[in-house]
Amino acid sequence: MTRLRFPESIDTVKNCTFFNYRHLQSVTLPANVKAIGYDSFYDCDSLHTVYIESPTPPMLPEATHAEYTFSEKTLQSGILYVPKGYAESYKNNAGWQQFLHIEEYTPSDVDEIATPSAEVRVKVSDNTVSFEGGNDLDGVTVFDISGRTVYSGMAESLTLPRGIYLLRTKTQTIKFKV
């Protein structure tokens, strides 16, 4: 497992949950996660992307020390994605400000529905959808919920009306909401 999205039913990430799990690359914490325990993601040397859907920064074991939860490598070179409009809340929080890279995003109900090892990522901001993923983006097709093709080509971003869509690349299919 390289990517993990905690279920909505979780409100606390317990101590040492993924301690020393070196394959984890990306984690998404739903809005109802209020606290993260000691060493939950410590020594996860591949962890480079942390998505938090809560506008309020979850509590860390030591309010001023994210390094008790995340490895220094994650704090230095990883990216912490927080809900649009709340980056300052995280940057001003003594623990979370230890992430050198904090960016805003719009949580979008993006779900990977095939090929979990692929590298394509979808980000939604307002009505603009951005695709990241290197060679996997050599030809993408976007379908609306009815199965009609709304785009086919090599774009890295699109403007779409509100709705649910499927992105298909040569290696995976991703469901996302605008």
pLDDT at 64: 67
108 or 106: which carries more pLDDT confidence?
A: 106
Please check the confidence at residue 42 and state whether its pLDDT lies above 50: yes
pTM: 0.63
Average pLDDT over residues 34-39: 93
Dihedral, 63, 66, 69, 75 alpha carbons, nearest 10 = 170
Residue among 124, 133, 134 at smallest CA distance from 165: 124
pLDDT at 113: 47
HSE-CB for 136 with a 13 A CA cutoff: 17
Beta strands in the chain (DSSP E): 3-5, 12-13, 26-29, 35-36, 49-52, 79-83, 102-105, 111-112, 121-125, 128-132, 140-144, 149-153, 157-159, 164-168, 173-177
Give the Cα separation of 45 and 74 in Å (integer). 7
Q: Catalogue all structural domains in the chain, each as residue range(s) with its CATH number.
A: 3-105 (3.80.10.10), 111-177 (2.60.40.3080)
- Bridge partners (DSSP) of residue 43 are none
pLDDT at 99: 95
Distances (CA, A) of 140 to 18, 71, 99, 161: 34, 35, 33, 18
Average pLDDT over residues 117-134: 74
Average pLDDT over residues 10-31: 92
44 or 108: which carries more pLDDT confidence?
A: 44
3-state class (DSSP) for residue 9: coil
pLDDT at 46: 94
3-state class (DSSP) for residue 13: strand
Give the Cα separation of 50 and 27 in Å (integer). 5
Model confidence at 93, pLDDT cuts 50, 70, 90, reads very high
68 or 111: which carries more pLDDT confidence?
A: 68
H-helix segments, the chain: 72-77, 87-91
Q: How many CB atoms lie within 10 A of CB 92?
A: 10
HSE-CB for 3 with a 13 A CA cutoff: 15
Please check the confidence at residue 19 and state whether its pLDDT lies above 80: yes
pLDDT at 173: 79
Please check the confidence at residue 136 and state whether its pLDDT lies above 80: no
